[in-house]
Amino acid sequence: MIIIDTNALVVLLVGLIDTRLFRNHKRTSIYDEDDFTDLLRTIRSLNQIVTLPNIWTEVDNLLNNFSGNYKYAYIQEITKTIKETTENYLASEIGTSSPHFQELGLTDSLILEFAKECKLLITSDSKLSDHAIAYGIPVYDLVKVKNERLR
């Protein structure tokens, strides 16, 4: 099982629609086709991915403002990706009980909790990555990989 966070899932979906869109969205603005290829290589198969309902809600809130042809492409890609991946439910109370809730918020607290059961956390959120690493959770950190490439 691989859990993927909101920002990384936004990168995945935007890349699946059209990698040229990365520069148009602030959450994906530092990424390019090479980063997307590396992400796909890390995921290998969508059916390995596990998400939470909170993650999909955040993703849709961030991406549902596409217009024209991209709106249709977005609907197609998110529908297909939701179908091919697995969704697990974690009660919000687990998140609010987490010692990280104050710092990370509800969704990331739940991701951190669930990631302890997963073989990998894929994230594009540096703060979540810091916390996960502190717990010894294996992390593929898109921001870290990108910044290593920039140096």
Partner 1 sequence: MKLKDLLKIAEDELSDLSTVSNPDFRLEQAVKTDSGWEIVVSFLVENPNKPSNPFAALAPAFQFERIYKKVSINSEGEVAGLFIYNNN
Positions that interact with partner 1 (CB under 8 A): 23, 26-27, 29-30, 99-100, 102-103, 105, 125-127, 130, 134, 143-144, 146-147, 150-151
CB crowding 93-129: b at 16 or more within 10 Å, else e:
eebeebebbeebbebbbbbbbbbeebebbbbbbeebb
What's the full length of the chain, in residues? 151
For partner 1, the closer CB: 48 or 98 = 98
Residue 47 CB, nearest approach to partner 1 (Å):
30
Residue 93 CB, nearest approach to partner 1 (Å):
15
Residue 101 CB, nearest approach to partner 1 (Å):
9
* Cα 64-70-76 angle, rounded to 5 deg: 75
